Amino acid sequence: MDDRELLAKIGMTEAEADKRGAAYEHDAWDAGTFGKPRRGRPSIADEEVRPYTVRFPVSLMEYVDHKAKQNGVSRSEELRRIVADERKRATA
């Protein structure tokens, strides 16, 4: 796919793309409309996050994968959901 095809898919002309690019490069674009660009993935929490490596028996990971697929989320998101649900039960 070339630039023109991509621009056509999002409904923008080359002139419009050039104008927006120039505005961004000169820090003159409407940050309220587009927001400031951020590097990396969006945060999954409103606090610091850290990676953890955990080993599970295959049967438990198959269960987690099955639940993740049912819920339409990633394995990591399903594990976070399971732990968060358990924390809610423990503090209730």
Could you give the domains of the chain? 1-39 (no CATH), 48-92 (1.10.1220)
More confident residue, 73 or 37: 73
Nearest by Cα to 47 from 91, 89, 80, 75: 80
22: exposed, middle or buried (Cβ count in 10 Å: 0-12, 13-18, 19+): exposed
**Overall residue count recorded for the chain in this entry:** 92
How far apart, in Å, are the Cα atoms of 39 and each of 4, 9, 20?
26, 25, 19
Q: Which of 5-14, 26-35, 74-83 has the highest mean pLDDT?
A: 74-83
Quote the pLDDT of residue 8: 86
pLDDT band for position 28 (cuts 50, 70, 90) = confident
Asked if residue 49 has pLDDT above 80, the reply is: yes
Quote the pLDDT of residue 32: 67
Place of tokens 């639940």: 67
- 43: DSSP letter: P
Asked if residue 35 has pLDDT above 70, the reply is: no
What residues have CB less than 8 Å from 49, skipping those under 6 apart?
43
Q: Where are the beta strands (DSSP E) in the chain?
A: none
